Amino acid sequence: MVLKIIIIKNQKKLFKKAAKLIKEISEKSIKKNKIFTAALSGGKTPVELFKLLSIKYKNKIEWSKVHLFQTDERCVPFNDGNRNYKTIHENLIKPLDIQINNIHVMQKNLTDAKKAAGNYEKKIKTFFKTDIPEFDLILLGIGEDGHTASLFPDDKKALTIKNKIIINTVSKKMQPKVKRITFTLNAINNAKNIIFLITGENKKKVINEIINNKKNNYPASLVRPKERLYFFYDNEINK
Helix axes 46-56, 11-33, angle to 10 degrees: 60
Give yes or no for a cis peptide into 95 (omega within 30° of 0): no
According to the binding rule CB under 6 A, does residue 141 interact with ligand 6PG? yes
Query: Of the two residues 37 and 71, which places its CB atom closer to ligand 6PG in the complex?
Result: 71
Residue 43 main-chain phi, psi, to 5 deg: 80, 180
From the list 12-20, 27-35, 145-153, 226-234, the region that binds ligand 6PG by CB under 6 A is 145-153
Closest distance between ligand 6PG and the C-beta of residue 8, in Å?
17
According to the binding rule CB under 6 A, does residue 143 interact with ligand 6PG? yes
Closest distance between ligand 6PG and the C-beta of residue 64, in Å?
26
Which sign, positive or negative, has the C-alpha torsion 22, 219, 68, 173? Answer: negative
According to the binding rule CB under 6 A, does residue 220 interact with ligand 6PG? no
From the list 121-129, 146-154, 158-166, 210-218, the region that binds ligand 6PG by CB under 6 A is 146-154
Query: Of the two residues 54 and 150, which places its CB atom closer to ligand 6PG in the complex?
Result: 150
According to the binding rule CB under 6 A, does residue 42 interact with ligand 6PG? yes
- Which residue among 29, 54, 84, 193 contacts ligand 6PG (CB under 6 A)? 84
From the list 18-26, 35-43, 48-56, 129-137, the region that binds ligand 6PG by CB under 6 A is 35-43
According to the binding rule CB under 6 A, does residue 169 interact with ligand 6PG? no
Query: Of the two residues 147 and 179, which places its CB atom closer to ligand 6PG in the complex?
Result: 147
The answer for residues whose C-beta is within 8 angstroms of residue 114's C-beta and 6 or more apart is 168
Closest CA to 92 of 66, 130, 118, 121: 66
Quickly count: other Cβ atoms within 10 Å of residue 35's Cβ.
15
Closest distance between ligand 6PG and the C-beta of residue 177, in Å?
12
- Which residue among 150, 169, 190, 193 contacts ligand 6PG (CB under 6 A)? 150
Q: What DSSP designation does 219 have?
A: G
The strands making up 166-169's β-sheet, listed across from edge to edge, are: 72-74, 180-183, 166-169
Residue 105 main-chain phi, psi, to 5 deg: -115, 180
From the list 4-12, 36-44, 92-100, 115-123, the region that binds ligand 6PG by CB under 6 A is 36-44
The answer for residues whose C-beta is within 8 angstroms of residue 224's C-beta and 6 or more apart is 1, 189
Q: Identify any residues that bridge with 26 across adjacent strands, giving them in sequence order.
A: none
Where does this chain bind ligand 6PG (CB under 6 A)?
Answer: 41-45, 72, 74, 84, 141, 143, 147-150
